[in-house]
Amino acid sequence: MTASMTRPGKIIAIHLSYASRADQRGRRPAAPSYFFKPASSVGVSGGTVERPAGTELLAFEGEIALVIGTAARHVSLGDAWNHVGWVTASNDLGLYDLRANDKGSNVRSKGGDGYTPLGPGLIDARTVDPAALRVRAWVNGELRQDDTTAGLIFPLAQLVADLSQHFTLEPGDVILTGTPAGSSVIVPGDVVEIEVDAPDAEGSPSSGRLITTVTQGDVPFDEEIGSLPAVDDVQRAEAWGSREEAGLPAEDAAPTAEEAAPALSPELRAKLLEAPTAGLSAQLRKRGHHSCFIDGVSVNIPGSKIVGTAKTLRFVPFREDLFTTHGGGYNAQKRAFDSVDEGEIIVIEARGDATTGTLGDILALRARARGATGVVTDGGVRDFDAVAEIGLPVFSQGAHPSVLGRKHVPWDADITISCGGATVQPGDIIVGDGDGVVVIPPALAEQVADDTLAQEIEDAWIAEQVAAGHPVDGLFPLNAEWRAKYEAATGAASDRGARP
């Protein structure tokens, strides 16, 4: 930062603004959204930035920084650029290991000391066209980013006008205007250079190269104070820029429209609500599915029936070092309950251990607020009566007062798990009632539901005959003679040959 630039009072950064970056991320926002960075994150050209101990995903982001010259409050789009005094380069550094903890606020992931180097020079905003600025970034001399403001989704002036609707932009405040595609992970020893210029303007004014060297920190985060670093393949892919760059296997091809259709339509849900699990399990058995039961669980609210798609959560056996890294902060358990969608059922793998709670009333409240249909766990439930009062159906092995950390480490969510002896994948259809819980592969659900309901009609007719005094031999199940009587009485056409 040059001597002519004072320490900013506010640093406001936009989440996503370049079309190239939006295309890379697979989402394009309809309006800009922002986060704040502390003034203590400002750094200077030639300085260093530390990658904290125990982390792996520190990423650079070359950006154009706007420095406010005159106060702006409720300014129009046409007048907004007049309130920008200078343009310079910025590196909006971020630590993806901490991103999940603060979600969109980025307080910890983007707020570290030295995470906003600026400069080295200032370009007079009055001498350049805001639609013709260029930002470039190099890592160890290799060009990684090269884009212009012609590729912005939201023009620079729009950011100034938009922010001025909500608070006063004061002289010296800095707006970080987003990064184009090409941002990636940097490691200790890497040297990052960022330059902003206006190649078509008179004299081709430039900020000069903003140089930052990455160092390795040696002070770990304190597990007793706050959230710990945690990464997964989603964070790795976003930090590196792609799964390929992160060294991850390619994802399967995008599903077809038919494949992408909801596994559980309202019509199918209605059928499954009517179909008993006993009948569903019989139909699954006819199709060779003998391991469809989640054994050993019963519901906390008598008479409850649940139908939904599985959202999975896996606990692994307790181990001190693993609980230190995965048990605290915004762990997999909290993430699962925070992200469950309407109509989903959280299914928890607890290895059949009933001697510890796998959820309590707070998480039950969160699941209920999110619209979850219920929870199935092959472990215990803490705050058992309170969870029932909340009205969230939970199938479990019963009550247990212990908190997390006695037997389990919350390990991962949205993966294939084992629950009560059944394999459950995300998106599998779960049906639970007084007889228990069954897991239905989505591809079989429609036919299984239809045949179960047809069998229910047949069983009701059989029950009438038994009540009238007929013996069950030949009647249950129907032999040829009784089936002919059934079809004559009900008008049902036999499709037994088509059934498994």
Q: Convert 211-249 to b/e letters by CB count within 10 Å (16 or more is b).
A: bbebeeeeeebeeeeebbbbbeeebbbbbbbebeebeee
In this predicted structure, the answer to whether residue 403 has a pLDDT above a threshold of 50 is: yes
Q: Is residue 340 part of a domain?
A: yes
| Whether residue 419 sits in one domain with residue 300 | yes
Q: Is residue 56 part of a domain?
A: yes
Euclidean distance between CA atoms 366 and 452, whole angstroms: 34
Q: Is residue 255 part of a domain?
A: no
| Whether residue 42 sits in one domain with residue 152 | yes
Provide the token pair at 95. 């630590």
Euclidean distance between CA atoms 222 and 237, whole angstroms: 27
| Whether residue 216 sits in one domain with residue 306 | no
Give me the percent of the chain exceeding a pLDDT of 90. Answer: 68
Q: Is residue 294 part of a domain?
A: yes
- pLDDT, tens digit, for every residue of 363-375? 999 999 999 999 9
Q: Which pLDDT value is given to residue 364? A: 94
DSSP summary character for residue 97:
G
- pLDDT, tens digit, for every residue of 19-48? 999 888 777 888 899 999 999 999 999 999
DSSP E strands in 416-466: the ranges are 417-419, 422-424, 429-433, 436-440
- pLDDT, tens digit, for every residue of 175-218? 999 999 999 999 999 999 999 999 999 999 999 999 999 999 98
More confident residue, 329 or 39: 39
| Whether residue 436 sits in one domain with residue 457 | no
Q: Is residue 178 part of a domain?
A: yes
| Whether residue 306 sits in one domain with residue 187 | no
Give me the percent of the chain exceeding a pLDDT of 70. Answer: 94
Tell me, what CATH number does 26's domain have?
3.90.850.10
| Whether residue 137 sits in one domain with residue 75 | yes
Q: Is residue 270 part of a domain?
A: no
Residue 183's domain comprises: 11-240
| Whether residue 312 sits in one domain with residue 180 | no
| Whether residue 142 sits in one domain with residue 216 | yes
| Whether residue 187 sits in one domain with residue 89 | yes
Counting the structural domains of the chain, the total is 3
| Whether residue 416 sits in one domain with residue 458 | no
| Whether residue 468 sits in one domain with residue 434 | no
Q: Is residue 245 part of a domain?
A: no
Q: Is residue 280 part of a domain?
A: no
In this predicted structure, the answer to whether residue 468 has a pLDDT above a threshold of 80 is: yes
Q: Which pLDDT value is given to residue 44? A: 92
In this predicted structure, the answer to whether residue 55 has a pLDDT above a threshold of 50 is: yes
DSSP summary character for residue 41:
G
More confident residue, 140 or 252: 140
Q: Convert 401-432 to b/e letters by CB count within 10 Å (16 or more is b).
A: eeebeebbbbbbbbeebbbbebebeebbbbbb
Q: Which residues make beta-bridge pairs with 94?
A: 59
**Which positions ≥6 away from 484 have C-beta within 8 Å?**
none
Distance of CA 492 to the CA centre of its chain: 48
